[in-house]
Amino acid sequence: MDFITLSAKTCMAHLLLKETFDQFSFIEGEITTFNKFTLDGFLQKDFFDDAPKRSHSYWKEVRELCFAIIRGRRTPLNFKIVLSLAPENFAAFLEKHQIGACRAEDIQGLYLNFHYDGTTLQCITGTSMHTFTMDKTLEREWDAYVGKMLGNWREL
């Protein structure tokens, strides 16, 4: 787990206006403006004619809704947006980072937890496994990957 304090302006542009995170799974979100808006990323399979195999929306499918809630003259009082690397990308991540001690199907999530408290924006990384393991290689590699990806957005 890593805590990264980010430039709100730069990170919010990537989060809400650019396609940077569009292929990530949207796990959940909570945005407090004049009301508290809570969003659950689980797909409601009964809604679809052909139900998707995935369990969560992609960020690109809810990004504009979140932007519509956040945009305005006043900044949100706070928000939390939780994303995960999409499960179909787990195997490629393991291969790219040469993590042989872990299988893609053992991973529950590789998370980005964005928290804004009204003044500071932080990203907290996280990993979750379906099985218990003492090996922290995946966690270290995920933290390093996110640190590199968000490196230029750090608050100085």
pLDDT at 114 over 80: yes
Which is it for the CA torsion 130, 80, 28, 84, positive or negative?
negative
- Asked whether 70 and 76 are in contact (CB, 8 A), the reply is yes
| pLDDT (tens digit per residue) in 118-155 | 999 999 999 999 998 888 999 999 999 999 998 888 87
Q: Structural domain boundaries of the chain? A: 3-44+53-153
| CB burial of residue 146 (10 Å; 0-12, 13-18, 19+) | buried
**∠ CA 138-149-142 to the nearest 5 degrees?**
5
pLDDT in tens, 47-98: 999 989 999 999 999 999 999 999 988 999 999 999 999 999 999 999 999 9
